[in-house]
Structure 1
Amino acid sequence: MERFSNITEALMNEAKIEIESFDIKDGEKIIAYFSEIPSISGFPYKIILVENSDGIVYARFRQWDTEYDFTRWDNGVYNLDRLRIITDEKILSQTESALLKEYLSQLEKIHLPENINKENVIILDSSLWKFGFILKNKNIDYTWKAATEDINVFVPLINLMREKYLDRI
């Protein structure tokens, strides 16, 4: 039985679940991720970088096509089981893979901030951003609506991921 709702929060929660649902194959490991969950009118997406057992790095992308779905649901009742999710997968070039390894190597050598969320600002309607990566000794996860200047240390890695899908985000 399909699930229907007229509650926007239920719709957004289902969209978050859908864009997080990547298939990770045996022998693969997630290296990094980046996501944006905008206000309801946006296009929530997530990008992950995955390395397989052969050392090949893939960028995988999942995005909720809100424009398409909202044209189907003009009466305010949402089908939670039929969200249109756009998916894509691209192999990182050797140059991109080398840059990725260099960025991660640099991050292992510095003191990383514990938090990059600027908490002394008021954000009325904005995206929720999530970013994380895996180093040899630890997993790093950040969430923010307004970032502190500490995000600058991560910009090269974030840009590497986002550049693979600039035409979609």
Structure 2
Amino acid sequence: MERISNDIQALMNEAKTEIENFRLKSGEKIIAYFSELPTIKGFPYKIILVEQPDGIIYSAFRQWDTAYNLLQWTLGIYNLDRLKIINDEKILSTTDTALLREQFSLLEQIQLPESISDEKAIILDGSEWKFGISLADKNVDYTWKASTEDINLLVPVIELMRKQYFED
């Protein structure tokens, strides 16, 4: 039986669950992730970087095709079992892999902030951003709607991840 709902929050929750649903092979580990969860008119997505046991790094991408589904569901009745999810995977080039390893090395040598969320900013309706990284001696996870200047420490890794799928 399919799950049908007229609750927009239930739809968004299901979209979040679907874009998180990466299947890793044995021995693979996620070394970084980046996601954007925009308001309903946006296209929620998540990118992960995965290291294979042989050291090869690839990126994987999942995005809810919001436009496609919302064109189908014009009456505000949503089929939670039929979200259209776009998937893609790409092996990082040797240049991008070297850049990534260099950035990881730099991040391992500094004290990373506990939070990059600007608590003084007022955001009425905006995306929620998430970034996480697994370094040799620490794992960090960040969530923000408005970030502090500390995000500049992470921008090279975020840009590397985004450039795999988005042409800016």
TM-score range for the pair, normalised by the shorter chain length: over 0.9
Q: Equivalent residues in 2 for 1:25-40 (5 A)?
A: 25-40=25-40
Letter in 1 for 2:31: I
**Cα shift at 1:10:** 0.2
Residue 3 of structure 2 is matched in structure 1 by: 3
Residue 106 of structure 1 is matched in structure 2 by: 106
TM-score by length of 1: 0.98
Q: Secondary structure at the match of 1:10?
A: helix
Letter in 2 for 1:106: L
Residue 83 of structure 2 is matched in structure 1 by: 83
Aligned length: 168
Q: Equivalent residues in 2 for 1:1-169 (5 A)?
A: 1-167=1-167
Letter in 2 for 1:113: P
| Structure 1 moving runs of 4+ over 4 Å | none
Letter in 1 for 2:106: Q
Cα RMSD after superposing both structures: 0.9
Q: Secondary structure at the match of 1:126?
A: coil
Following the alignment from structure 1 to structure 2, what is the Cα–Cα distance between the partners of residues 8 and 150?
Answer: 33
Following the alignment from structure 2 to structure 1, what is the Cα–Cα distance between the partners of residues 138 and 122?
Answer: 31
Letter in 2 for 1:108: E
Q: Secondary structure at the match of 1:13?
A: helix
Unaligned runs of 5+ in 1: none
Following the alignment from structure 1 to structure 2, what is the Cα–Cα distance between the partners of residues 28 and 146?
Answer: 32
Letter in 2 for 1:119: E
TM-score by length of 2: 0.98
Q: Secondary structure at the match of 1:95?
A: helix
Following the alignment from structure 1 to structure 2, what is the Cα–Cα distance between the partners of residues 23 and 118?
Answer: 33
Unaligned runs of 5+ in 2: none
Following the alignment from structure 1 to structure 2, what is the Cα–Cα distance between the partners of residues 19 and 166?
Answer: 17
**Cα shift at 1:63:** 0.0
